[in-house]
Amino acid sequence: MTRERPPVAVLALAIVLAVLGGRFAVHMVQLARKGEHRDFAAVYTAAHVSRAGGQFYDAQPLHAGLGANENPELIAAARRLGTLHAHENFVHVHVFSYPPFAVLPFLPFTALSFPLAAVLWQALSLAFAAVAGWCLWQAVPLGAVSGLTLAGIALLYEPLENSLGLGQINLLVLALTAVFVWALAAGRPVAAGLAIGLAAALRLHPSLFLAYLAWRRQWRAFAVGVGTAGACTLAAIPLVGWPATAEYVTGVAPRYARSFAGLGGHSLPGWVLTTGPAFVAGVPDGVWRGLGRVLSIAVLVAAVLLVWPAGAVARPRLVRETSFLSTVLLLAVPNTTINHLVFTFIPLAVLLAAALDGRGEEWRSVPWLALAVLLLGGVNDYYAHPRLAGGPQVLLAGIKTYALVILAILGACLVRGTTESACPQGGHT
């Protein structure tokens, strides 16, 4: 019997993927040998200081644009460990800005030298990305064409390269969030709750999904998620010490709950704070921050109305709604930087499956998806030239924000089945 040959599109994508995979592998080897892993240096140094019973938080964000450390204990440890990063005018280590629990997973790395620990974390981060890809492939589910397309995007995607280069923990949080999506789709509420609870203990932003679980009356997953996040947070108090916990609650968290001026902020509040002063001079930053908060609240309210009414829904809709909320989260939080954009893999997986694997009119969204991917992952973060900081050209600095808006609109259309006239050419179900 003659075997049926794979579609030409699948074979072509596989060839392209092999070429991109080779390029990516070479890049990863170079990163392991010569990468600075600056953000991993921050958590690695914090873990050493925490293990010694010291204070690992720093007041650095108070000095916008400077970045000089104020914690002498932290800078001394960084100098000893070789984790300092040199700028033209000062030498520093990036700040540890996560909840206290987030330092605990990095304590075992303190048994290794920084270069070895950084390479190990890079390997684990690649594994986290693979776990996220597998979970999304199963949960959406992705077909051969959409799955290979998503893999190809990943191998060229600047947010992924940025997260790997810096040694960010976002790939760990992405993997946990993808496990959460997969577990919801598979009807495994305990696994879903454990995954999103751990993610919320590492970063505050995934807590939005706990509220979503309550909204959708996924009570078992909600209870496990809240219990996991609460248990991890409480367990960290005696392990890292009350002073560190108090510093995070009273100092670090409030500072990072507001947007910062600069061309690297891609959320709506960051976009307002960056573009507003370029058009209206003399208005205090506090006014722009307030306007950004209003826009964030408006986006969240719109998201609630979109998934109205509350109550249980079918599992495929749960996946589409969580992917849509992933984009909403990136738009609404005060600070969304380039490495946070790895979370766009969740909405991209859902939208690619609808556009490339479906039999309806969703394929018309392909040009918009391509534009969003280009702006998010094809234009690197160095486009933030100082000449874009003022005048009408400052609007060019918001290209990644515009891409998030495109993903949000397409995701909203997919969730609600909105007609084409209300969406960018497609996206209805």
Considering only residues 120 and 281, tell me which one the structure prediction assigns the higher pLDDT.
120
- Distance in angstroms (rounded) separating the CA atoms of residues 404 and 323: 12
Residue range 74-125, pLDDT digits in tens: 989 999 999 988 776 778 888 899 999 999 999 999 999 999 999 999 999 9
Residue type at 403 in one-letter notation: A
Beta strand residue intervals within 239-308, DSSP E: none
pLDDT at 128 over 90: yes
DSSP conformation class of 204: S
- For residue 381, the model assigns a pLDDT of 59
Residue 384: predicted pLDDT? 63
Kindly list the domain boundaries of the chain, sorted by start residue. 1-257, 258-429
Distance CA 276, CA 394 (A): 9
Residue 49: pLDDT band by 50, 70, 90 thresholds?
very high
In the predicted structure, residue 66 carries a pLDDT above the cut 90: no
Q: Would the pLDDT of 358 be above 80?
A: no
pLDDT at 374 over 60: yes
358 or 320, higher pLDDT: 320
Residue 86's beta-bridge partner residues? Answer: 91
At 306, list the tokens: 């979109």
> Which residue type does 218 have?
Q
121, amino acid identity: W
pLDDT over 90 at 127, yes or no: yes
Query: E strand or H helix at 85, and its extent?
Result: strand 85-86
Calpha distance 178→192 (Å, rounded) = 9
Instruction: Specify the residue for token string 């994508």.
Output: 13
Computed on alpha carbons and rounded to an integer, the radius of gyration of the chain in Å comes to 22
| Alpha helices for 35-82 (secondary structure H) | 38-51, 72-81
Question: In 3D, which of 364, 367, 264, 369 has the Cα closest to residue 323?
Answer: 369
CA distances from 233 to 2, 194, 225, 363 (A): 59, 14, 12, 44
Q: Is the peptide bond before 61 cis (omega within 30 degrees of 0)?
A: no
- Of 359 and 278, the structure prediction assigns the larger pLDDT to 278
Residues 6+ apart with CB under 8 A from 245: 100, 236, 237
CA distances (Å), 172 to each of 165, 177, 373, in order?
A: 14, 9, 22
Instruction: Report yes or no: 195 and 173 within 8 Å, Cβ to Cβ.
Output: no
Q: How far is CA 321 from CA 67, 220, 239, 326, 407, in A?
A: 38, 18, 37, 9, 13
Burial (CB count within 10 angstroms: exposed 0-12, middle 13-18, buried 19+), residue 1:
exposed
Q: In the structure, what pLDDT confidence band is assigned to residue 63 with cuts at 50, 70 and 90?
A: very low
Q: Mean pLDDT of all residues in the chain?
A: 88
Q: Provide the percentage of residues in the chain whose pLDDT is more than 90.
A: 68
86 phi, psi to nearest 5 deg: -95, 130
What pLDDT, on the 0 to 100 scale, is given for residue 426? 41
Cα–Cα distance for residue pair 149/353, rounded to 1 Å: 10
- pLDDT at position 61 over 70: no
**Cα–Cα distance for residue pair 101/51, rounded to 1 Å:** 13
Distance CA 384, CA 381 (A): 6
pLDDT digits (tens, 9 = 90+) for 301-314: 999 999 999 999 99
Question: Tell me, what's the pLDDT at 170?
Answer: 95
- For the chain, how many helices (H) and strands (E)? 18, 2
Residue 109, φ and ψ in degrees, nearest 5: -70, -20
Q: Is the pLDDT of residue 326 over 70?
A: yes
Cα gap 177→200, rounded to integer Å: 9
Phi, psi of 390 (to 5 degrees): -145, 160
162-204, pLDDT tens digit by residue? 999 999 999 999 999 999 999 999 999 999 999 999 999 999 9
Asked whether the beta carbons of 259 and 231 are under 8 A apart, the reply is no
Question: Is the pTM value of this prediction over 0.85?
Answer: yes
Both structure tokens of 279: 């058009």
Structure confidence at residue 428 as a pLDDT band (50, 70, 90): very low
